[in-house]
Amino acid sequence: MSRRSPKILDVARVAGVSAATVSRALSNPDLVAEETRKSVLDAVATTGYRINRTARNLRRQVTGAIVVLVPNLGNPFFSQILSGIEAVGTAGGYSVLIVDTEQAEEKSDLVREYLHNNRADGVLVLDASLPIPQELRGAGSAPAPLIFACEKPLRSEFPSVTVDNELGARLAIRHLFALGHRAVGHVAGPAGNVLTAARRGAAQAEIAALGGPIRKPWFLSGDFGIESGVRAAQALLAMRERPTAMFCASDLMAFGLISELYAHGVRVPEDLSVVGFDDIEFASRSIPALTTIRQPRVEVGAIAAEMLIGRIAGAAHPHGDADRVLPVELIVRKSTAAPPALA
């Protein structure tokens, strides 16, 4: 004969309080005295009581889930961001659902689909190109529980957690100039992307501020992916006059660039220095190890999840609804050195 599962009345009996007090202690602990809360938690441990989250969520008309909309789940850049989101979400009692927006048939309805169809209590958007329906923007009512992370549209009512992309680009250029480079180029991200504009604009501004030339052929288009780095290398190989250093707007593009250059006898950093952006896990193990701009990716995900859960609960986050811009740092490794003429 199977032993019955402990009920909330069993917890109340062991703790010496009412069932209503047990319910308050578990669902709204701030409303219960600390001594009472401790008694209830001890009784929970003693009885082995488990909260039925599904039933609780049905009573509260919530799903107990948050959705993360990711532009390319195959990109290793997102791994640590998702790790930060998952850790905070799980600790807060939420299931974390991850959706690859590249696989969606109709992107314009993605956010509405999850929030309006009661499939999620809140949404984290890692893709700034996704359209946000007008009815979710808070006109005449509270705005939807939605937070942007990594990327944010230029004009948006929703809070965001991003990094200082302009500073990252400037740090990369300053590092190359400190090594003696003056002929510096750039491989940018996809056209129309907010990160592309920020990193390319800051790189050009810093080159100009340091007295270097800005030559249009040295500023190449990419899409953050490894194959666009390969194409950038092919464009460089076809040039009669090449830069001595390249700043890539992502580590993946830097890997593609370096591998294609090596295949054609151009050595990094002996012939050309390369700086990436992101510091994904492989950056320290590539050959040569990649000099890059490190983003605090776990922290980006964790803070974004905290802000979203606070919005869902109607509670203020310690930083309010203000946008958070986290610092980046230059990580110097083996892919950069003095230009050939100074080596």
Q: Where are the domains of the chain?
A: 8-51, 64-163+297-326, 165-295
- Of 151-155, 157-161, 207-211, where does mean pLDDT reach its minimum? 151-155
pLDDT above 70 covers a percentage of the chain that reads 82
Please indicate, yes or no, whether the overall pTM of this predicted structure exceeds 0.75. Answer: yes
pLDDT above 90 covers a percentage of the chain that reads 56
Amino acid at 243: P
Per-residue confidence (pLDDT) for residue 136, from 0 to 100: 61
Judge whether 317 and 306 are in contact, CB under 8 Å.
yes
Whether 330 shows a pLDDT value over 90: the answer reads yes
Whether 108 shows a pLDDT value over 90: the answer reads no
Instruction: Classify domain 64-163+297-326 at the CATH superfamily level.
Output: Response regulator (3.40.50.2300)
Q: What are the DSSP calls for 53-88, one per residue?
A: HHHHHHHHT--SEEEEEES-TT-GGGHHHHHHHHHH
Whether 2 shows a pLDDT value over 50: the answer reads no
Which of 95-99, 151-155, 339-343 has the highest average model confidence (pLDDT)? 95-99
Q: What are the DSSP calls for 34-60, one per residue?
A: HHHHHHHHHHHHHHT----HHHHHHHH
- Of 9-18, 205-214, 233-242, 298-307, where does mean pLDDT reach its minimum? 9-18
CATH 1.10.260.40 fits 8-51, yes or no: yes
Higher-confidence residue of 32 and 71: namely 71
Q: Binning pLDDT at 50, 70 and 90, where does residue 10 land?
A: confident
Instruction: Using alpha carbons, list the distances in angstroms from residue 70 to 77, 108, 154, 290.
Output: 11, 14, 18, 25
Provide mean pLDDT across the span 316-336: 84
Residue range 168-222, pLDDT digits in tens: 999 999 999 999 999 999 999 999 999 999 999 999 999 999 999 999 999 999 9
CA angle in degrees (0–180, nearest 5) for 199-204-208: 150
Q: Binning pLDDT at 50, 70 and 90, where does residue 54 land?
A: very low
Per-residue confidence (pLDDT) for residue 175, from 0 to 100: 98
Per-residue confidence (pLDDT) for residue 185, from 0 to 100: 98
What's the token pair of residue 196? 């592309």
Per-residue confidence (pLDDT) for residue 53, from 0 to 100: 46
Whether 323 shows a pLDDT value over 70: the answer reads yes
Per-residue confidence (pLDDT) for residue 280, from 0 to 100: 96
Q: Binning pLDDT at 50, 70 and 90, where does residue 48 land?
A: confident
- Sheet arrangement for strand 146-149: 95-100, 65-70, 122-125, 146-149, 160-163, 324-326
Which residues have C-beta within 8 Å of that of residue 108, sequence separation ≥ 6?
131, 133
Q: Binning pLDDT at 50, 70 and 90, where does residue 1 land?
A: very low
CA angle in degrees (0–180, nearest 5) for 27-30-31: 80
Whether 8-51 and 165-295 share one fold: the answer is: no
- For 302-313, the three-class secondary structure string (H helix, E strand, C coil) is HHHHHHHHHHHH
Residue range 63-90, pLDDT digits in tens: 688 999 998 888 999 999 999 999 998 8
CATH number of 165-295: 3.40.50.2300
Per-residue confidence (pLDDT) for residue 126, from 0 to 100: 94
Amino acid at 93: G
